[in-house]
Amino acid sequence: MPEGDVLRLTATRLDTALRGSILVRTEFRWAELGAVSLMGREVAEVAAYGKNLLIRTTDGWTVHAHLRMEGRWFVARTGTPQAAGRSPFVRAVLASERWTALGEHLGMLNVVRTRDENRLLGHLGPDVLAPAFDAASAALRLRDASEGPHVSLAEALLDQKRVAGIGTIYAAESLFARRMDPWRLVGACDASELTALLLTARSRMERVVAHGLGALDARVHGRLGRPCVRCRTAIAVRQARRPPYERPIFFCPRCQAPQAGISRSE
């Protein structure tokens, strides 16, 4: 599933292609949006919030898309076969005279007034990649928001209502970097530990936003059974959350071992 860093990279690509351009073709292949058109409107900007993409027009409309598991956006030169969008997986097309942005396999698509974006995003926690991200206040929300402090650290990091933008990769990588047990209860951590954890996730994501996906450098994610880079113990995996919403979290059972006397989810 794409995480906040991928959304930022996508937003930057689409922003470069469309900002300041007039839309000459718009298609929303989505049940409730079949009749909606944004033709003739000018793109003000393309932004990301957590795992959400927002394409805003200068006259106050927003196209909101969520990529869910397999979604992606790509840009093709208008008039080329790739820009035609003939694939049945293409759900959104927004084109200027020069460039066409196409959204495939989208998990969610809305067109709303920009002033009403909050109806779609208001339940989310702070965006971990926002320039004004305040890690200390986000740490308090990470611990107490949503279902409260009695969930594991892994689940808290994945819960977009607590903090927006982190998925399985950065949850696992930041917990490993801080040597924290993913299954310890978030309520058993103090605010400074959680602040440091969020800042670690943010800085790793920022590196990828700045240098591309090649800068990811995963130490535990996707490395089941391979030796830990620190202690050579085999990397393990366990599911966070319950079916059907379970998500794999990779970790080192030794570097991230439970500490005696500290509550964790079993």
Please give the positions annotated as active site.
2-3, 51, 247
Among the candidate windows 35-43, 48-56, 143-151, 253-261, which touches Zn ion by CB under 5 A?
253-261
What is the rounded CA–CA span in Å between residue 128 and residue 5? 10
Cβ nearer to Zn ion, comparing 72 with 238: 238
Cβ nearer to Zn ion, comparing 213 with 231: 231
Size of the site for Zn ion (CB under 5 A): 7
47 and 121 Cβ atoms separated by less than 8 Å: no
Cβ nearer to Zn ion, comparing 162 with 204: 204
**Does position 254 bind Zn ion by CB under 5 A?**
yes
Q: Which of residues 100-119 bind Zn ion (CB under 5 A)?
A: none
**C-beta nearest to Zn ion: residue:** 228
DSSP 193-237: HHHHHHHHHHHHHHHHHHH-GGG---SSTT-TTSBPTTT-PBPEE
Per-residue tokens: 111: 């067109």
Q: How far is the CB of 185 from Zn ion (least distance, A)?
A: 22
Contacts for 150 with CB less than 8 Å, ≥ 6 apart: 185, 187
Strands (E) across the chain are located at 25-28, 43-49, 52-57, 61-66, 72-77, 90-95, 99-104, 108-113, 236-240, 247-251
Q: How far is the CB of 134 from Zn ion (least distance, A)?
A: 32
Per-residue tokens: 94: 């927004």
Q: Which of residues 192-251 bind Zn ion (CB under 5 A)?
A: 228, 230-231, 233
Q: How far is the CB of 147 from Zn ion (least distance, A)?
A: 30
Among residues 156, 163, 180, 252, which is the contact residue for Zn ion, using CB under 5 A?
A: 252
Cβ nearer to Zn ion, comparing 142 with 228: 228
Residue 75 has φ and ψ, to the nearest 5°, of -120, 135
Among the candidate windows 202-210, 219-227, 239-247, 254-262, which touches Zn ion by CB under 5 A?
254-262
Binding site for Zn ion (CB under 5 A): 228, 230-231, 233, 252, 254-255
